[in-house]
């Protein structure tokens, strides 16, 4: 007798990471490889196939029920097509049918942030929450919204793009072409950029010392380190980013009335310095009767959220 298992794949612009896991989310095997999207779609597809086969092989006889994949970009989980993933350069790629043919297994494809929301709900900090907003803040900002126990997908799978919600109409430019999006105000690169603008404006900061004067090395992580040592510029920049995230959450709370908001991704690792201004902004700006029922907490699954999310996606949509 062999126990059941599912393959979960996190397809990002930089890395492809895979696991073989039980339906309860216990990881049995892991594998990772680089994506190298500029080598083309066929090469990336080969690497995805290898990522699946590698963990199946390590599973020694555990025949997987199927494969879940969380992909960057907009994905229709019913059709399994990656509609638009700019960091892969993919538009209208029928990933589900291509992969299912190669592997001879049932395949379910979904958006990576949506997948992570499902993972937190099933295996992480969101267990038991039927109304949940998950936000991931790193190089970009993504989110997944669960309402009434179901993932919000929108008409074609684009729902939950809170990173491109306009927060400051006259704000800095965003890679999407608009300006003042949350992503342009509170993502890792936005935090680094805001700190550099203040240093260039003549403010003294230990950020310059940390990078030995090489300002191209300033990242959100460097800003967080300076803030932990009490640097005024770094603390101010992080407080401002927290304020913007808080403003976005005020909008989301009024729209969805979640019981729980989970924040993950590299930037969330900043911790209290970021969460304090987020919670304060929600306290100040959201209608008390609505916000009183909302908890704002760090996500629990860290780097595994994407892969476990792919497992959760498979469980959610292979039944439909």
Contacts of residue 176, Cβ cutoff 8 Å, sequence gap at least 6: 164, 183
Residue 104 burial (C-beta neighbours within 10 Å; 0-12, 13-18, 19+): exposed
Q: Which is nearer to Zn ion, 112 or 304 (CB)?
A: 112
Least distance to Zn ion from the beta carbon of 149, Å?
29
Least distance to Zn ion from the beta carbon of 6, Å?
34
**In this chain, which of 48, 174, 186, 299 binds Zn ion, going by CB under 5 A?**
174
Q: Which is nearer to Zn ion, 33 or 86 (CB)?
A: 86
The answer to the question of residue 181 lying near Zn ion (CB under 5 A) is: yes
CB atoms closer than 10 angstroms to residue 241 = 28
Least distance to Zn ion from the beta carbon of 176, Å?
3
The answer to the question of residue 74 lying near Zn ion (CB under 5 A) is: no
How many residues bind Zn ion, per CB under 5 A? 5
Least distance to Zn ion from the beta carbon of 186, Å?
12
Q: Which is nearer to Zn ion, 16 or 190 (CB)?
A: 190
The answer to the question of residue 268 lying near Zn ion (CB under 5 A) is: no
- The one segment of 117-125, 176-184, 227-235, 291-299 that binds Zn ion by CB under 5 A: 176-184
Order of strands, sheet of 5-11, starting from the edge strand that comes earlier in the sequence: 27-34, 15-21, 5-11, 64-71, 106-111
Reading the block at residue 84, the tokens are 């638009």
**In this chain, which of 164, 198, 279, 291 binds Zn ion, going by CB under 5 A?**
164
Residue 107 burial (C-beta neighbours within 10 Å; 0-12, 13-18, 19+): buried
DSSP summary character for residue 179: B
Residue 96 burial (C-beta neighbours within 10 Å; 0-12, 13-18, 19+): buried
Q: Which is nearer to Zn ion, 181 or 310 (CB)?
A: 181
Least distance to Zn ion from the beta carbon of 93, Å?
23
Residues that bind Zn ion (CB under 5 A): 164, 174, 176, 178, 181
């Amino acid at each position: 007798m062999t126990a059941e298992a599912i393959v979960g794949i996190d397809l990002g612009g930089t890395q492809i990471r895979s696991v073989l896991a039980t339906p309860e989310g216990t990881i049995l095997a892991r594998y990772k490889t680089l994506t190298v999207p500029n080598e083309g779609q066929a090469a990336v597809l080969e690497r995805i196939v290898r990522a699946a086969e590698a963990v199946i092989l390590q599973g020694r006889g555990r025949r997987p029920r199927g494969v879940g994949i969380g992909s960057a970009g907009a994905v229709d989980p019913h059709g399994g097509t990656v509609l638009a993933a700019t960091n892969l350069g993919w538009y209208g790629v029928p990933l589900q049918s291509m992969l299912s043919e190669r592997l001879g297994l049932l395949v379910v494809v979904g958006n990576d942030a949506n997948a992570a929301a499902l993972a937190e709900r099933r295996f992480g900090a969101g267990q038991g929450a039927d109304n949940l907003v998950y936000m991931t803040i790193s190089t970009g900002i993504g989110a997944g919204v669960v309402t009434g126990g179901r993932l919000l997908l929108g008409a074609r799978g684009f729902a939950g793009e809170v990173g491109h919600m306009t927060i400051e109409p006259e704000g800095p430019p965003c890679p999407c072409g608009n300006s003042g999006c949350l992503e342009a105000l509170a993502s890792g690169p936005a935090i680094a950029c805001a700190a550099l603008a203040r240093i260039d404006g003549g403010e003294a900061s230990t950020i310059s010392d940390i990078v030995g004067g090489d300002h191209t090395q300033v990242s959100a992580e460097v800003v967080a380190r300076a803030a932990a040592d009490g640097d005024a510029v770094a603390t101010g920049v992080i407080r401002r980013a927290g304020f913007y995230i808080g403003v976005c959450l005020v909008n989301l709370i009024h729209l969805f009335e979640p019981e729980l908001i989970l924040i993950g991704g590299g930037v969330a690792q900043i911790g209290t310095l970021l969460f304090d201004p987020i919670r304060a902004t929600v306290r100040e700006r959201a209608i008390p009767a609505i916000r009183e029922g909302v908890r704002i907490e760090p996500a629990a699954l860290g780097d595994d959220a994407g892969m476990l999310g792919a497992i959760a996606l498979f469980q959610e949509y292979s039944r439909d």
